[in-house]
Structure 1
Amino acid sequence: MIPELGHYALVLALFVALVQSGVPLAGAATGNAAWMGVARPAAVAQMLLVLVAYGALTWAHVVSDFSVMNVVQNSHSAKPMLYKVSGVWGNHEGSMMLWIVMLTVFGAAVAVFGRNLPPTLKARVLAVQGLVGIGFLLFILTTSNPFIRVVPAPLDGNDLNPLLQDPGLAFHPPFLYAGYVGFSIAFSFAVAALIEGRVDPAWARWVRPWTLAAWSTLTAGIALGSWWAYYELGWGGWWYWDPVENASFMPWLAGTALLHSAIVVEKRDALKTWTILLAIITFSLSLMGTFLVRSGILTSVHAFAVDPARGVFILVLLGIATGGSLLLYSLRAPSLKAGGLFAPISREGSLVLNNLLLSTATATVFIGTLYPLFLDVLKLGKVSVGAPFFNATFVPVAIPMVIAMVVGPFLAWKRGDLPGALTRLWSAGVAVVVCVAIAAYITNGGGPLLALVGIALAAWAFFGSLAEFAERIRLFRVPLKDSWTRAAHLPRSAWGMTIAHACLGISILGMTGTSAWQTEVIQAMKPGETAQLAAYSVRFDSVAEVQGANFRAEEGVFTVTKDGALIATLKPQRRSYPVTRMTTTESAIHTTVFSDVYIALGDPTQNGTAWIVRLYHHPLVPWIWLGALGMMAGGLVSLSDRRFRVGAPERRRAAKPTLQPAE
């Protein structure tokens, strides 16, 4: 009965979405306040109905209701409870439910918290959000119904993909989807602005917090996905330029450009049409990522290999959303009033350069990801595009982007002084030279030259951001008490910007260290043998069978020492899941502040006396995720700025009239 309740709630949500998308639009066009007012309760009602449906599907998984096909195909009675819950979104139908949950939650958030939005703009934003909801609700109900019954019900299920039975996959998709879907709000604001024919600084102020929320959660989602792939897949890497990884990276790049472009609209009333276009492109790239993992054209650990007909449906949705919005853009954008003028050397100019480089980086990843797929689909041959291509094309664009990111905040609005800005960055320049010298000394000049470039870039981003913050509070130029007072009164958006930019430098440092100076040893080892890994000795002590909740495993025991001192005892596993008949690698990692010792136990040799063991030493690799989480934290700190709480300048109470003395 509960699955039927969930199905019925989805159908009702579709009808509510139809009302939400039609009535407020008509009300905004005719000036009917009552019709426009329908948008708010409709958005909330749609969210509640979708949550009921999602709760019904979760209940079916938790109680192992094997009369529901989705539960049969993706669960098992012996599966741990955490993975019964996360298994709800560990499949195509459930992940689409999570998508629509995020969509309606963001829509309801605008309805509830957007009190200061102009009524016509709010009605149109929620109507566009309702239109997007119609498309995905139709998709779920017609092609991906998660509540289909099985008669007769089997005694047990087929279990979840073992690769997804991991805490990282329990948290990675919700953050990723919140980022993907959060950009739908920026898209809805852009389309609503095109319909109204007005984009102004107030519009930018309203759209920025939603874009910032989506960007922050997408940052967390990408970082968690990278971390999961690093420790779960046993290959020892943190980024593979996999097409599905790229599908999440592209909207992140475009969303970063959108954030910075919206600042120019808010501060200088410029770059209006460009910001609108970025909002459309960012959400379109999010939709493209949804298409890639559900079209059947990819073979990836991240992809859902499903009926290609479902991919065609999403491709139609992508075409309607992107094509329709771009058509509206072509018709209405030329009529938007141009903003203020500015010199090329200015704060606005640096943000424009930032946007151009981010857009170029996005286009580079887009071409490298989709070109081989297009050739394959059109039967024109197979082309392999891997890490060498992306490293050779993306990195040269990223270097000037990071350099400009640091210099830009030192420039004045409208017209800046580049020599003066560089002069004020002298402390960051000194820090860069010192860091490069230290890196060269520690490594004795080992590693590629680009490694030192990476160290310089990381130091420039980190210390340049701190220098900009010091400039804001006039550190060492006024008494420390005054600097502290200035810091306490800075807007939280300024704090957030400093944290995010500085933490980007931390991530770059981690990427550089592990890429340039990692050590890899792959060899067959017998119990009792020792291998050298960088400065460590790794002894293979033993291997034994262990029994898990729904798997059996071979567990190796390795002792890691350095200069005779015990560092760690690591126990990697090679797990076998009898229901799915799949084998996974569970690596064991010893993490310090400065490096990881990473061990993965592979297959036994033919005679069964030795095992293939992968040993890695990754310098600075933890800093990749530390920096990424710091970037997300910077976004959340900016989001807490009181100016963004209502999306518009704060209302002021009318001052009480004072009695004037009679003359």
Structure 2
Amino acid sequence: MREVVGAARGQAYNRGMVTELGHFALILALFVALIQTIVPLVGAHKRWPGWMAVAEPAANAQFLLVAFSFAALTHAFVTSDFTLRLVVENSHSLKPMLYKVTGVWGNHEGSMLLWILILALFGASAAWFGGALPPALRARVLAVQGGIGLAFLAFLLFTSNPFLRMAMPPLDGRDLNPLLQDPGLAFHPPFLYLGYVGLSMAFSFAVAALIEGRVDAAWGRWVRPWTLAAWIFLTIGIALGSWWAYYELGWGGFWFWDPVENASFMPWLIAAALLHSAIVVEKRESLKSWTILLAIVAFGFSLIGAFITRSGIITSVHAFATDPERGVFLLAITALFMGGALTLFAARAEVLSSKGVFAMLSRESLLVLNNILLAVAAFVVFVGTIWPLVSELLFDRKLSVGEPFFNLAFTPFFVALGAALPIGAMMPWKRAKAGRVLRKLLPAAVLAIAVLALVYALQTGRSALGPVGLMLATWLVVGALTDLWARKGNSPLSRLLRLQRSDYGRVIAHAGLGVTIAGIAGLLAWQSEDIRVMQEGESLTLAGYDITLQSVERVQGPNYISTTGQVLLSRNGQNIATLTPEKRFYPVARMPTTEAGIDNGFLRDVYVVIGDPQDGGGWAFRSYVKPLANWIWGGAILMALGGAFSLSDRRYRVAAGARKTNVQGVPAE
């Protein structure tokens, strides 16, 4: 008995030591971030190489310290260390291991530590891969990145410390929010944070360039890989969140225009504009001031997203915290970095003059149009998201801005963007002849109009959303393929294999956008729905499918109790699949969740949801047939894949940009 008690005490002591070391590492990281912020900036200003060189080891040290702290917190969750308040509030000993790990970031404090870890990772990556950058620029970039880390480390330690102890540790925890106990949402936050926080690198490059007083083609080449990486991660993160909402929440939709959803969508739109704008800076040394402004605003929207999810000003299934003190701290961080960057932007306006001149008809002009449409679309989403708060604060009126507003106000700008993309991708630089480009795109236009006419003729009594959406999707996909084929010219077919990866990346990403638009249009225009009370053994017919509720049984899960239906799906007498929709109840958290039963297909999903038992007998039962549903996320995968192809192009590596600068004879300092 003594040996068992001694072993238990030893394990508890070891867990406590690991936790305390993680807390100490986080405090030490704060001081390292302070050094990383001040010393390189002074060194760059004074041209002291030794002081500038401090930036790289400081960035590495900050990353290692934060990584150790995150590992210590993960260890506490995995080992169910209930002496830690955060583990008590967000874990349980019976929880599956996957959700013990993901419980680390399934709460406010842990998610902020993950945010800081990714921030430190990007700073360290700039130190690892930015060796060919001019020393002063590299030092300033890392110093700005360190300053962001310093602010968030202070926020974490002073308002949201994840290592607070319990005076009287309980025997077990209160469990993680059941909605977060799902594989889709386990991976959604890390990818989303990689996108959110990745935009800090574009911000750091913008502020460093403003301090240095030089924005040129080389800067455009350097900032693009970081922005592209952030955009890829944001695309994956948003798609995972949408997919999770589709199959987990049981309401049958994929996007609710929730304020927190919008908080991730706005940086995505601005990052897309920044990517296209940086191309003009790199190729033509134009749009410098606009590109710098986009880099600032993109990260600003990321900070606004952090404020929305953690301030308590909105109620959302995605919100982490409702503490006004935290909201004020985050608002101060946002004001500090956005206000400081915009002030510097105004002070440095004279160094942002453009050199390139271009005609009204040129690729530059179409990229400007692209930027305007993306920026206005982001502004529309911002207004719709923030207006209920403004209305309540200023006019004492509670308003709800939902899907009708966003569909009406946002859709026209995105349709115009889709219409312009194939034309802009094929326009020559500086000066173009519209007739030559339009002749090449004529087959794509004819095919798109044919699709419009065909779909409109086949559907009866429906809105124009489906036909117009599929026409736009066809225009984007075929236009992207036309762009690829045009680059072959009169050369042999083998020339296509020798094209740059960035060319393939652009085509795949634009086609992916078309596929997503097709999926959204098909689902919204042609979805069939049935809501009723069903008895066991009862059947219904929906859009040609026979759906039978064969049985309902009670199932005990690892940390939940499930009401599970057995649903037979058939068509024309042929059995297709057996679906198992669930209504789960988590006793510890005392919360229900819904697990939809879905038969996925290339052209449609059949989607069934079982609800609560009814007083008169039977079960609440909802069923849907959703045309082209999976095209939404298939298109997102294509967009991310296109971004990855472009990112792998050797021309877009930071070192390549630096080498090009040196060859042209531009001095490093």
Q: Which of the numbers 302, 307, 331 marks the counterpart of 2:323?
A: 307
Q: Distance in 2 between matches of 1:12 and 1:605?
A: 58
Corresponding residue SS for 2:643: helix
Q: Please tell me whether residue 599 in structure 1 is matched to residue 608 in structure 2.
A: yes
The corresponding residue for 1:637 is 645
Q: Distance in 1 between matches of 2:366 and 2:427?
A: 8
Cα deviation, residue 383, structure 1: 1.2
Corresponding residue SS for 1:381: coil
Q: Which of the numbers 232, 249, 253 marks the counterpart of 1:216?
A: 232
Q: Please tell me whether residue 620 in structure 1 is matched to residue 628 in structure 2.
A: yes
The corresponding residue for 2:530 is 521
Q: Which of the numbers 430, 451, 455 marks the counterpart of 2:470?
A: 455
Q: Deviations over 1:507-534 (max 9, x none)?
A: 0000000000001111000001111111
Is 641-650 or 159-168 further displaced after alignment? 641-650
Corresponding residue SS for 2:344: helix
The corresponding residue for 1:53 is 69
Q: Deviations over 1:274-317 (max 9, x none)?
A: 00000000000000000000001111111113311101100000
The corresponding residue for 1:490 is 499
Q: Which of the numbers 111, 121, 145 marks the counterpart of 1:105?
A: 121
Q: Please tell me whether residue 9 in structure 1 is matched to residue 9 in structure 2.
A: no
Q: Deviations over 1:114-156 (max 9, x none)?
A: 1110000000000000000010000000000000010221000
Kept after mapping to 2: 8 A contact 1:6/1:54: yes
Q: Distance in 2 between matches of 1:75 and 1:305?
A: 17
Equivalent AA in structure 2 for residue 524 of structure 1: V
Q: Equivalences for 1:94-493 in 2 at 5 Å? A: 94-378=110-394, 380-441=396-457, 443-474=458-489, 477-478=490-491, 482-484=492-494, 486-493=495-502
Corresponding residue SS for 2:548: strand
TM-score scaled to structure 2, two decimals?
0.95
The corresponding residue for 1:659 is none
The corresponding residue for 2:585 is 576
Equivalent AA in structure 1 for residue 464 of structure 2: L
Give unmatched runs, 5+ long, in structure 1.
656-663
Q: Please tell me whether residue 611 in structure 1 is matched to residue 631 in structure 2.
A: no
Q: Please tell me whether residue 588 in structure 1 is matched to residue 597 in structure 2.
A: yes
Corresponding residue SS for 1:596: strand
Q: Distance in 2 between matches of 1:359 and 1:36?
A: 36
Corresponding residue SS for 1:238: coil
The corresponding residue for 2:45 is 29
Kept after mapping to 2: 8 A contact 1:2/1:56: yes
Equivalent AA in structure 1 for residue 532 of structure 2: Q
Corresponding residue SS for 1:602: strand
Q: Distance in 1 between matches of 2:358 and 2:433?
A: 13
Identity of aligned residues (%): 56
Cα deviation, residue 433, structure 1: 2.5
Kept after mapping to 2: 8 A contact 1:211/1:255: yes
Q: Distance in 1 between matches of 2:419 and 2:355?
A: 27
Kept after mapping to 1: 8 A contact 2:313/2:322: no
Q: Distance in 2 between matches of 1:507 and 1:221?
A: 15
Q: Distance in 2 between matches of 1:186 and 1:532?
A: 53
Q: Distance in 1 between matches of 2:50 and 2:461?
A: 71
Corresponding residue SS for 2:371: helix
Q: Distance in 1 between matches of 2:215 and 2:341?
A: 16
Q: Please tell me whether residue 557 in structure 1 is matched to residue 566 in structure 2.
A: yes
The corresponding residue for 2:550 is 541
Q: Distance in 1 between matches of 2:408 and 2:657?
A: 45
Kept after mapping to 1: 8 A contact 2:225/2:654: no
Q: Distance in 1 between matches of 2:296 and 2:588?
A: 44
Q: Distance in 2 between matches of 1:599 and 1:626?
A: 21
The corresponding residue for 2:575 is 566
Equivalent AA in structure 2 for residue 312 of structure 1: V
The corresponding residue for 1:44 is 60
Q: Distance in 1 between matches of 2:367 and 2:638?
A: 22
TM-score scaled to structure 1, two decimals?
0.96
Give unmatched runs, 5+ long, in structure 2.
1-16, 664-669
The corresponding residue for 1:84 is 100
Q: Distance in 1 between matches of 2:228 and 2:522?
A: 29
The corresponding residue for 2:9 is none
Kept after mapping to 2: 8 A contact 1:440/1:446: no
Q: Distance in 2 between matches of 1:363 and 1:416?
A: 30
The corresponding residue for 2:14 is none
- The count of aligned residue pairs is 646
The corresponding residue for 2:667 is none
Q: Equivalences for 1:66-81 in 2 at 5 Å? A: 66-81=82-97
Q: Distance in 2 between matches of 1:74 and 1:508?
A: 38
